[in-house]
Amino acid sequence: MKKLIFLLAIVMLTLVACTENDTEDTSEQEEREVPVEVEEVTKGNLDMQRTFYGRTTPNETTPVIPQVAGEVDELNVENGEEVEKDDDIATIKSVQGNIKVEAPASGYIIELNASEESLVSNQEPMAVIVDLNTLTVQLQVPDVQLDLFEEDKEVTLKLESAAEETYKATIEHVSKTANEAGLFPVELSFDNETTHYRAGVVATVTMEETVVEDSLLIPTAALVEENNETFVYTVSENTAKKVPVTVQATQSELTAITGELNEGDPVITSGQFTLNDGTKIKTVGEE
């Protein structure tokens, strides 16, 4: 009998100890605070950068067509050579005698397809002169972004071969009709007189477009998507509060939303994926 009582006492002591340990573990778990980082909700416009690509082309291209057909007696230029208007380019020996060919414009000689003693026609160009003092850049723009471009407006462009330098270009023409690809050609002019870039260089134009006006803005990092639901966690008396939101537009840093939030409310941007509604939290940096 004494032995049975002794065994019952041991069992009771063990149960009491386990209960105390469970209570302590539960208490510790309930008091555990998840460290989080927060940022404030702001209000304003959500702007996005739109990038358009094109290539530089000569502002003017002038063919050099001899007045008469004949044999090239003297050739005074080479491909790539710069000429001034009315410079002597060549002398043509013809039935009418020796006829000089003069440069019809200033620029650079390209596509020279004549040499001394070769025959040239008075119907086809023997060369082309390109004006590179002003370059043209043609962009292809979808109709939804066409409002960003207005004739005579100045924009900033960057040339692929120009490192980090940027230049000002003027919008010369916005097409009223789309091309076969469904895009609208937009032509810019760029002063190249002091920079001397070549035709054919890739040009980039970046424009800012306001996609949502006067909206609540939150850091994109605060968004949580789970079970077809989008929400954020805000802070309420040191606990996480789940707030459903609707995304209007998003970019890498900021997202425009609607929901039961106000400007200045804190939203959790780090640690939110381990939270539930009502989880105790500790904002990083708080005492």
Which residue positions in the chain have pLDDT lower than 70?
Answer: 1-31, 162-163, 285-287
pLDDT at 159: 87
Given a contact cutoff of 8 angstroms between Cβ atoms, the answer to whether 136 and 56 are in contact is yes
Instruction: Supply angle C-alpha 153, 156, 159, rounded to 5.
Output: 135
d(CA 7, CA 10): 5
> What average pLDDT is seen over the chain?
88
pLDDT at 284: 83
pLDDT at 21: 52
What is the number of alpha carbons within 13 Å of residue 151 lying toward its C-beta?
A: 6
pLDDT at 252: 86
Instruction: Report the residue count for the chain.
Output: 287
pLDDT at 16: 46
Given a contact cutoff of 8 angstroms between Cβ atoms, the answer to whether 124 and 113 are in contact is no
Nearest to 201 by CA among 60, 52, 54, 61: 54
Tokens of 46: 């959500």
Which residue stretches of the chain are H helix?
2-31
Amino acid identity for residue 232 in this structure: V
Tokens of 73: 């007696």
Domains of the chain, each with CATH number or no CATH: 33-46+212-283 (2.40.420.20), 49-57+132-211 (2.40.30.170), 66-124 (2.40.50.100)
Give 170-181 as a 3 state SS string: EEEEECCCCCCC
Distance in angstroms between the alpha carbons of the first and the last residue of the chain: 59
Maximal C-alpha separation, the chain: 145
Tokens of 85: 């208007």
Residue 183, CA distances (Å) to 45, 153, 178, 205, 211 in order: 27, 20, 5, 16, 20
Tokens of 215: 């909206």
Given a contact cutoff of 8 angstroms between Cβ atoms, the answer to whether 133 and 192 are in contact is yes
What are the residues whose beta carbons fall under 8 Å from the beta carbon of 217, sequence distance 6 or more?
A: 41, 42, 43, 44, 46, 254, 255, 256, 257
d(CA 17, CA 124): 106
pLDDT at 29: 44
